[in-house]
Amino acid sequence: MSTEADLDVMPAHTVDAFHRGRFWLVQPAKSGHRAGMDAMMLAAAVPSAFAGRLADFGAGAGAAGLAALTRCSSASAVLVERAEEMAAFADATLAHPANAHLGHRASVLRADVTLVGTARNAAGLADNSFDFVIMNPPFNAAWDRATPDDLKRQAHVMEDGLFESWVRSAAAVTRPRGGIAIIARPESLRPILDALSGRFGDTEILAVHPRADAAAIRIVVRAIRGARGKLSLQPPLVLHDTHGDRFSQHTDMINNGLASLFGD
């Protein structure tokens, strides 16, 4: 169990409450990726009644995986992270005393989700071993939001063929009829759908708009392994009320783990 002394040896960090204090995240204060609403929306794509084994690809400090666990009381999660620095933050998050009620339901796996075949299995990502995979992959173009922070660049900047390689691995480790959820920018929709094709079906797309009269800034795509149903467009999520910066009531509920994104 983490103590204040243990945290003293961590790089500069903050300990932040999510879901109104139902879990806490130990995350970098300066270098690397800091979790926010993207992680909460991704977690909210998991159905509320989900009771299986979840993989959080590119988990960082563990925000999305733990957010799913606080709403899905019978689920378990594996936080899959390639960068050792971020995996150490995930370890610290699970060991934090405020997360003792979740620690036995979650674990950290240091692995590269782009591995294939026997290498992927050897890394701990066995075929057909999960019921749901969620992912918030790096989706910025190399020239977009350039940063000298290498750890942050790894978390934010997209590599060529990223969606294909991540979804390929998700298809391998997900059991038949298992689920996948991805959050990304709208311009990533085509490569996401291409990667899902032949692997996942019954695909649902939900657009996230800052306001009702503004273009979408995120999409959340959810699908079922091996399904053959048609693609559907779900009612959008509008983050803010018409006037001001206040979150809408529904957005606030999603942000705090009190509602699911797709209504289930």
Distance CA 83, CA 80 (A): 10
Q: What pLDDT, on the 0 to 100 scale, is given for residue 146?
A: 54
Distance CA 76, CA 180 (A): 15
Q: Which of 108, 95, 107 is nearest to 24 (CA)?
A: 95
Query: Digits of tens for pLDDT over the chain (264 positions)?
Result: 444 445 555 768 899 999 999 999 999 987 677 889 999 999 999 999 999 999 999 999 999 999 999 999 999 999 999 999 999 999 999 999 999 999 899 999 999 999 999 999 999 999 999 999 999 999 655 545 555 555 554 444 556 789 999 999 999 999 999 999 999 999 999 999 999 999 999 999 999 999 999 999 999 999 999 999 999 999 999 999 877 788 999 999 999 999 999 999
Q: What pLDDT, on the 0 to 100 scale, is given for residue 7?
A: 58
Report the predicted TM-score, pTM, of the whole model to 2 decimal places.
Answer: 0.88
Distance CA 95, CA 32 (A): 20
Q: For residue 85, what are the CA distances in angstroms to 93, 110, 202?
A: 13, 10, 36
Q: What pLDDT, on the 0 to 100 scale, is given for residue 186?
A: 97
- The number of helix segments (H) and strand segments (E) in the chain equals 10, 11
Distance CA 218, CA 206 (A): 9
Q: What pLDDT, on the 0 to 100 scale, is given for residue 2?
A: 45
Q: What pLDDT, on the 0 to 100 scale, is given for residue 149?
A: 52
Q: What pLDDT, on the 0 to 100 scale, is given for residue 150?
A: 55
Where along the chain do its domains lie? 4-255
Does the domain at 4-255 match CATH 1.10.15.40? Answer given as no
Distance CA 32, CA 10 (A): 13
